[in-house]
Structure 1
Amino acid sequence: MADAMTMDQLMHASIQGSRTEHRPFSLANDKMLEVNLGVPGSTGQLLEFVWMKMGSMVAYKGEASFKREGVMEHGFGHMLKKSLTDEGVTLTKVSSKSQAQVYLADEGKLVTIVKLQGDTLVINGNDLLAFEPSVNHKITMMRKMSSIAAGGLYNVKLSGQGCVAFLSHGKPITLLVGPDQPPVFTDPQATVAWSGELSPEFKTDIQFKSFLGRSSGESFQMKFDGNNGRGFVLVQPFEEHPPPPSAS
């Protein structure tokens, strides 16, 4: 049994953010992101707002305001893709005119922070937690209808300079992809993210589909071929089933 903490120890163990307030993004713990508004962002400019996953705020300290992403906030093409996906990435802008700390979490998932330095990262739409405004984002839709049945309907391509935070059920593994590596096949429902240089394709396993009598992660697979680029894929130890469609 672990040693019990005193009230004073508990208080100091719970305010890790006070030591990292100069960073735009930091981990309050492995399942909670701390966003520090009013400090220099990754590009050196004052971080006045960030984009976060709608509904992920669990607490904040200081003055902050929350505004849901507007329909035309990022252009007509962005709006059209959101309407076609039905469950398109819904973001909230959290801003502050002074300094504030905002804490984000989602269903107890692990949080990972990555700093883009001119790179491109593609993240499963449901796994995107937050990103700085200096990061460009674009909704990308899978090219084959089989991806819809597999639950991999939309992803978010992020590029530029700045911090991005994403979620995963458990600690993901990293699989390398390249000309000197064999192709990588993943379950779409367990695929969290991949480097932007890669262009995955969908593969249908008819035998699995016929045997099981229904669609599954085994019958639909994502194929990452090193001949089309070099990079990596992140896979979580969990099959994340998409939410049921909303009633019309």
Structure 2
Amino acid sequence: MRSELFSAENLEKESAQPGMRLQNSKMLKIELNGEAMARVGSMVAYQGNVQFQALGSGGLGKFLKQKLTGEGVPLMKVTGQGDVFLAELAKDVHIIDLEPGDALSINGSSVLAFDSTLQYDIRMVGGAGMASSSGLFNCVFSGYGRIAITTKGTPVVLNVDAPTYVDPQAAVCWSANLQTGYHRAEQLGLGTLLGRRTGESFTMSFAGQGFVVVQPSEEPPVLGSGQQQQEGGLLGGLLS
């Protein structure tokens, strides 16, 4: 049988070392020998002796303030020995290595998988205050290990060496040490252009030393059960 489908580019990537790696730009491969954490529903294939345990609201139980969110976190623990392939709506997949002392704040809708050696928390985004009814929480990861995130399209990584402003729906992740704030569009002169609304209700600001990753697409507003519309999509699908 012959086809370009069977070219080396599409064959399974093999490695002698366990852990996360890119199968291709849209798919993550975990060569599993132990355990990892992954987004529920992200598994597209697996080989070997692998078990999946849905954690539900217990996934971030010791950190999640359920009185604030009212929702669970759909994570699953993946354990065993084998190869696990993960993807999320054909989004681009990127791997980030965290080392001791690193801390990364991530929009929850962009989290695909991470090593169980990482510590994670849910924190209020600094400076958000009561700017909106949502977009107030983010996932903060620290420790040593790998995390795989997704973006809708090829992102830009902005070095925050000057005051930086980003649409909160396009912000994927940023250095956790950055100072953040929320500004109404009118405060930045974006409220009206030639008499027309720009469509940007709030803009996030970043200051300090670090980086922010911005995707070329805005996450749609998320509607939670019994909740108001979320503008920033922070925590996104992880809290739906």
Q: TM-score, normalised by structure 2?
A: 0.81
Superposed displacement of residue 66, structure 1: 1.1
1:50 to 12, 26, 36: 36
Tell me: CA distance 1:126–1:101, structure 2 relative to 1, closer, same or farther (3 Å). Answer: same
Structure 2 partner of 1:145: 130
The alignment partner of 2:65 has SS state of: helix
CA contact (8 A) 1:135 1:158 kept: yes
| CA distance in 2 between partners of 1:113 and 1:20 (Å) | 16
Superposed displacement of residue 12, structure 1: 4.3
Equivalent positions of 1:1-248 (< 5 A) are: 6-7=2-3, 10=6, 12-17=8-13, 19-38=14-33, 48-72=34-58, 74-76=60-62, 78-81=63-66, 84-86=68-70, 89-96=73-80, 99-118=81-100, 119-142=102-125, 143-149=128-134, 152-177=135-160, 181-206=161-186, 208=190, 216=199, 218-226=200-208, 230-246=209-225
The alignment partner of 2:106 has SS state of: strand
The alignment partner of 1:84 has SS state of: helix
Tell me: CA distance 1:7–1:196, structure 2 relative to 1, closer, same or farther (3 Å). Answer: same
Moved more, 87-96 or 182-191: 87-96
Moved more, 62-71 or 130-139: 62-71
Superposed displacement of residue 20, structure 1: 2.4
Superposed displacement of residue 63, structure 1: 1.8
| CA distance in 2 between partners of 1:9 and 1:125 (Å) | 34
Name structure 2 gaps, 5 residues minimum.
228-240
| CA distance in 2 between partners of 1:51 and 1:172 (Å) | 24
AA aligned to 1:63 is: N
Moved more, 139-148 or 54-63: 139-148
Superposed displacement of residue 36, structure 1: 1.1
Superposed displacement of residue 225, structure 1: 1.4
More strand by share: 2
Superposed displacement of residue 6, structure 1: 2.6
The alignment partner of 1:134 has SS state of: coil
Q: What CA deviation, in whole Å up to 9, does each residue of 1:138-172 have, x standing for no partner?
A: 112234232445xx343110000000000000111
CA contact (8 A) 1:203 1:222 kept: yes
CA contact (8 A) 2:59 2:76 kept: no
CA contact (8 A) 1:61 1:101 kept: yes
Q: What CA deviation, in whole Å up to 9, does each residue of 1:29-86 have, x standing for no partner?
A: 1000001111xxxxxxxxx11111111111111121111125345444x2324x5234
Q: TM-score, normalised by structure 1?
A: 0.79
More helix by share: 1
Q: Could you say what the CA RMSD is over the residues aligned between the two structures, in angstroms?
A: 2.6
| CA distance in 2 between partners of 1:175 and 1:28 (Å) | 26
Name structure 1 gaps, 5 residues minimum.
39-47
AA aligned to 2:48 is: G
Superposed displacement of residue 200, structure 1: 1.0
CA contact (8 A) 1:89 1:126 kept: no
The alignment partner of 2:143 has SS state of: strand
CA contact (8 A) 2:56 2:73 kept: no
AA aligned to 1:188 is: P
Higher RCO (CA-CA < 8 Å; seq separation 6+): 2
Identity of aligned residues (%): 37
| CA distance in 2 between partners of 1:202 and 1:94 (Å) | 37
CA contact (8 A) 1:21 1:36 kept: no
Aligned pairs, number: 220
